[in-house]
């Protein structure tokens, strides 16, 4: 059975829309100042691999990885003393740093920033004067920058992805009921053999109203679960799929297929040693070893815990030339499309790949490690440690 024929008229219309898109002037000026060659158009679009088998070979072998945060001074004195202000935006997630330029960080400050991201999940820097080249160089410090086989990139800079909602809308039109962009809770690149660690998104132009991004803490989501429920999911594996689809070379008529890999449902961050829930509604397919009905019940509950507890979330209002650096191992995020595409938005993203995910039953939660447990939590953990089978709090 042959693949469904492509509507060439639709393809032509989409390409025409892409060709008529105009870069925001401030974005164009930034790219030209950085020496980016725009003569062949913007962005660069890689030749999309057609077949599943080809994509599995991309980064298919395990690579050595050392988390930059594991090298850091735990006090983070080099980073904090150089800043003019450090503000925690909520109790559990999100920190904003003022008075520093990311491009000028020393090696020690970079390591301390990696540790801060691992502890606070996402860190923000406004008024950044940083080129795509400098963004890529910083990304290499945190791990191997991911070069996506399908997403648009800055010309001449493989690994610097273009985040431009107006471009995306030429392929997937958005509406109020079906928002565009990344308007659903997700974590990036969960299908990789060594999935994403730190992502650095620099937005050079943003809507004057709306367009916020939300992040939720995987540490906090895991801690919201009762100790007995944690025992149910600790050590369990789940199937994670790619956002993009491909054809099976052996059976192209089966239609689009996704890259799938198996990883732990709960993982441990190598720099902090804390447990985090690692699921997302968009790309976690099923729990290994459970029937679909059983898996669906548990996963839907976990999604709800992650997405609906506002006290473990931060909502960030962007301003032009702001950078956000977050850790995909311990967060999910969601970009609000409430501005409805009425204002330009453009950014560049570098995602550094991390370790093969792992689980350690002896690892503490964040609240345990920081001595934040309340009496109810302590009682529950003590009863489990003592072998109690039936108790109420």
* Set 67, 111, 166, 188: catalytic member: 188
**Tokens found for residue 140:** 């290499």
Q: How far apart are CA 46 and CA 23, in angstroms?
A: 19
Answer yes or no: 45 catalytic.
no
**Tokens found for residue 241:** 């799929």
| List of residues 6+ apart from 243 with CB closer than 8 A | 186, 191, 282, 283
* Set 191, 263, 329, 349: catalytic member: 349
Answer yes or no: 349 catalytic.
yes
Q: Which long-range contacts does 31-34 make (Cβ < 8 Å, 24+ apart)?
A: 31/132, 31/154, 33/131, 34/131, 34/132, 34/133
| List of residues 6+ apart from 235 with CB closer than 8 A | 264, 266, 359, 361
| List of residues 6+ apart from 120 with CB closer than 8 A | 88, 93, 94, 95
| Angle at which helices 132-142 and 107-120 cross, to 10° | 70
Q: How far apart are CA 316 and CA 296, in angstroms?
A: 31
* Set 148, 186, 329, 345: catalytic member: 186
Cα 298–Cα 305–Cα 90 angle in degrees, nearest 5:
155
* Set 148, 202, 333, 345: catalytic member: 333
Q: Are 165 and 180 in contact (CB under 8 A)?
A: yes
Altogether, the residues listed in the chain come to a count of 393
**Tokens found for residue 173:** 């039109």
Which pairing describes strands 95-98 and 122-125: parallel, antiparallel, or unpaired?
parallel
Task: Give catalytic residues, as residue numbers.
Answer: 186, 188, 333, 349
């Amino acid at each position: 059975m042959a693949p469904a024929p492509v509507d060439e008229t639709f393809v032509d219309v989409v390409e025409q829309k892409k060709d008529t898109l105009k870069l925001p002037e401030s974005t164009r000026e930034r790219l030209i100042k950085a020496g980016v060659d725009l003569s062949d158009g913007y962005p660069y679009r890689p030749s999309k691999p057609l077949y599943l088998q080809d994509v599995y070979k991309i980064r298919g072998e395990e690579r050595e990885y050392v988390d930059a945060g594991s090298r850091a001074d735990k006090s983070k004195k080099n980073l904090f003393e150089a800043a003019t202000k450090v503000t925690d935006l909520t109790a559990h997630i999100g920190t904003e740093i003022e008075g520093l330029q990311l491009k000028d960080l020393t090696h020690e400050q970079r390591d301390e920033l990696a540790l801060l991201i691992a502890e606070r999940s996402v860190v923000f820097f406004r008024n950044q004067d940083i080129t795509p080249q400098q963004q890529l160089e910083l990304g290499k410090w945190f791990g191997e920058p991911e070069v996506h086989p399908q997403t648009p990139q800055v010309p001449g800079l493989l690994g610097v992805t273009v985040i431009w909602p107006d471009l995306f809308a030429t392929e997937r039109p958005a509406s109020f009921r079906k928002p565009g962009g990344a308007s659903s809770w997700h974590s990036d690149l969960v299908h990789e053999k060594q999935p994403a660690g730190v992502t650095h998104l620099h937005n050079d132009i943003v809507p004057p109203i709306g367009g916020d991004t939300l992040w939720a803490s995987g540490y906090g989501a895991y801690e919201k679960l009762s100790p007995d429920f944690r025992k149910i999911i600790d050590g369990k594996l789940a199937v994670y799929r790619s956002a993009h689809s491909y054809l099976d070379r052996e059976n192209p008529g089966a239609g689009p297929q996704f890259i799938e890999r198996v990883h732990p449902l709960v993982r441990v961050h190598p720099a902090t040693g804390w447990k985090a829930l690692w699921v997302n509604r968009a790309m976690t397919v099923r729990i290994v070893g459970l029937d679909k009905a059983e898996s669906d019940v548990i996963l839907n509950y976990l999604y709800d815990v992650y997405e609906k507890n506002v006290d473990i979330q931060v909502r960030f209002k962007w301003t032009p030339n702001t950078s956000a650096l977050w850790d995909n191992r311990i967060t999910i995020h969601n970009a609000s499309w409430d501005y409805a595409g009425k204002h330009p938005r453009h950014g560049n993203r570098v995602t550094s790949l991390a370790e093969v995910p792992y689980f350690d039953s002896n690892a503490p939660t964040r609240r345990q490690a920081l001595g934040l447990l309340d009496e109810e939590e302590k009682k529950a953990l003590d009863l489990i440690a003592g072998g109690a089978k039936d108790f109420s709090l």
